[in-house]
Amino acid sequence: MSGPRVAMLSVHTSPLDQPGTGDAGGMNVYLTSLARALADAGATVDIFTRATRPDAPCVVPLADGVSVRHVHAGPARDLAKAELPQRVGEFTANLMGDDGWVRRAPYDVVHSHYWLSGLAASVASPLWAAPLVHTMHTLAKVKNAALAPGDAPEPCARIRGEETVVGAAHALVANTEAEADDLVRRYGADPGAVHVVAPGVDRAVFHPDAGADDAHPDARHLAAAQARARRALGLDPDELLVLFAGRVQPLKAPDVLVRALAALVEQVGADRALRRPPRVVVLGGPSGDARHVTELAGLARSLGVADLVEIRRPVDPATLARWYRAADVVAVPSRSESFGLVAAEAQACGTPVVAADVGGLRSVVHDGVSGVLVPGHEPAAWARAIGDLLADPARRAALGAGGVRRTGRRGWDAAAQAMLTVYRRARERAARVAA
């Protein structure tokens, strides 16, 4: 029996975009990885996204059983996220405007991602006679409760839009139990419509590189893998390296890491355990405002640590995995995260994670087993957490091995199977509503 035919909607960012730039991030990895895993399980997936180039092909094959379909809405160029809500109507009209396409596209389920896509899907779902499944990825009310200093709050229009999508969806997918609780408490979602499906990790790419001992690497295996990764990347084999991977924006809080580095530099002279300061590598481009990267570099200069901070462009998944293995610590200081895919990927590579004690990161990072959770965003606390790990190689190795054990079974195949169950329940719920 063939699998379901799935229409995925991603209005504001394309699965073809490079994660770590613009609005592309963990959601892009989620889309492509989940779509491929669903196709492997027998589903057929069409991902509809806004065309950002005049010459964008109508259809781009992404994998066997997965296609990306471009829909024109507004000027065919990148738009600021604040400009996109006014383009949702046009996106929806062009998506549904071809009556022939509507008749030709009997989807079994519509799965939208982020609130803008949810608004378009709430129109497409009844026209295609298919239930609406929605994944928020981030929630405005949660983000507004944890704003970085000086960061602008999410607008009321977004909050109203999210509330509309919650009311229209036959199933809501949360990444963690905490997100599921936020949907019920903050948005009044029906608990019976909320399903928790943890994202996966591409284990073919993100692994410790320990050969036959990948599932249970010890300190020797992890050290050898780190040495191989550093040689491949042309890095100093003896330096201490802290990695930040993600978009450079206030929500991700790379400034906290730079300020913590400055505090570490001051501690080196007084703390015999940590003999030299680490180097911080930031893999990521600006999100929203291109000035964020310039401001981060300026902050490093003002704190006297510019020579220890390197900002690089985002890289492909295989190279990112090498960076994870090369690092001594991966830092995730985000002020809000619905999940924290970077933390999961780093742990799968055998590298301990120091993460903010917020949102989905609490589910991904097991404090004292696979990494360290830091309450708050005070640079001094982050300096202590990172410095203690850097000064203790044995503890880093133990946490690295713990991370591999914790993420070893978190594959996209399992996420796809869980999502197929959600799709089935959404169809059952839609049938009950119709009856």
Residues 354 and 420 in one domain: no
| Residue 234 neighbours by CB under 8 Å, 6+ apart | none
- What letter represents residue 349's amino acid? C
Supply φ then ψ for residue 372, to 5 degrees: -130, 130
What is the pLDDT at residue 284? 86
Query: Which DSSP symbol is given to 102?
Result: H
Residue 163's closest CA among 186, 143, 146?
186
Taking the C-alpha atoms of residue 26 and residue 371, their distance in angstroms, rounded to an integer, is: 20
Largest CA-CA distance found in the chain, in angstroms, rounded: 73
Residues 401 and 416 in one domain: no
Asked if residue 133 is part of any domain, the answer here is yes
Residues 302 and 392 in one domain: yes
- What letter represents residue 339's amino acid? F
What is the pLDDT at residue 435? 80
Q: For the chain, how many structural domains are there in total? A: 2
Per the annotation, binding residues for 1D-myo-inositol 3-phosphate are 12, 23-28, 81, 114, 138, 158
Per the annotation, binding residues for UDP-N-acetyl-alpha-D-glucosamine are 18-19, 26, 247, 252, 315, 337, 345
Taking the C-alpha atoms of residue 351 and residue 336, their distance in angstroms, rounded to an integer, is: 22
Burial class (CB in 10 A: 0-12, 13-18, 19+), 81: middle
Tokens at 375, concatenated: 């309450």
What is the pLDDT at residue 21? 60
Asked if residue 257 is part of any domain, the answer here is yes
Strand pairing of 241-245 and 329-332? parallel
Beta strand residue intervals within 274-337, DSSP E:
279-283, 309-312, 329-332
Per the annotation, binding residues for Mg(2+) are 324-325, 327, 351
Domain that holds residue 195: 5-199+412-430
Taking the C-alpha atoms of residue 401 and residue 120, their distance in angstroms, rounded to an integer, is: 44
What is the pLDDT at residue 312? 94
Tokens at 194, concatenated: 């909320």
Residues 125 and 166 in one domain: yes
Asked if residue 205 is part of any domain, the answer here is no
User: Tell me, what CATH number does 61's domain have?
Assistant: 3.40.50.2000
Asked if residue 119 is part of any domain, the answer here is yes
Asked if residue 287 is part of any domain, the answer here is yes
Residues 122 and 238 in one domain: no
Asked if residue 435 is part of any domain, the answer here is no
Residues 321 and 419 in one domain: no
Residue 114's closest CA among 165, 188, 182?
165
Asked if residue 217 is part of any domain, the answer here is yes
Per the annotation, binding residues are 12, 18-19, 23-28, 81, 114, 138, 158, 247, 252, 315, 324-325, 327, 337, 345, 351
Residues 92 and 220 in one domain: no
Asked if residue 206 is part of any domain, the answer here is no
Per-residue pLDDT of the chain (435 residues; tens, 9 = 90+): 478 999 999 998 888 887 656 666 678 889 999 999 999 999 999 999 999 999 989 999 999 999 999 999 999 888 888 889 999 999 999 988 755 455 566 899 999 999 999 999 999 999 889 999 999 999 999 999 988 887 889 999 999 999 999 999 999 999 999 999 999 999 999 999 999 999 999 999 999 988 766 777 888 999 999 999 999 999 999 999 999 999 898 989 999 999 999 999 988 766 556 778 999 999 987 776 678 899 999 999 999 999 999 999 989 999 999 999 999 999 999 999 989 999 999 999 999 999 999 989 999 999 999 999 999 999 999 999 999 999 999 999 999 999 998 886 678 999 999 999 999 999 999 999 888
Residues 242 and 159 in one domain: no
Residues 67 and 135 in one domain: yes
Residues 59 and 74 in one domain: yes
Instruction: List beta partners, residue 8.
Output: 47, 111
Residues 20 and 98 in one domain: yes
Instruction: List beta partners, residue 19.
Output: none
Taking the C-alpha atoms of residue 132 and residue 426, their distance in angstroms, rounded to an integer, is: 7
Residues 403 and 417 in one domain: no
- Give the global pTM: 0.91
| Residue 125 neighbours by CB under 8 Å, 6+ apart | 110, 131, 132, 168
What is the pLDDT at residue 282? 97
Q: How many CB atoms lie within 10 A of CB 298?
A: 12
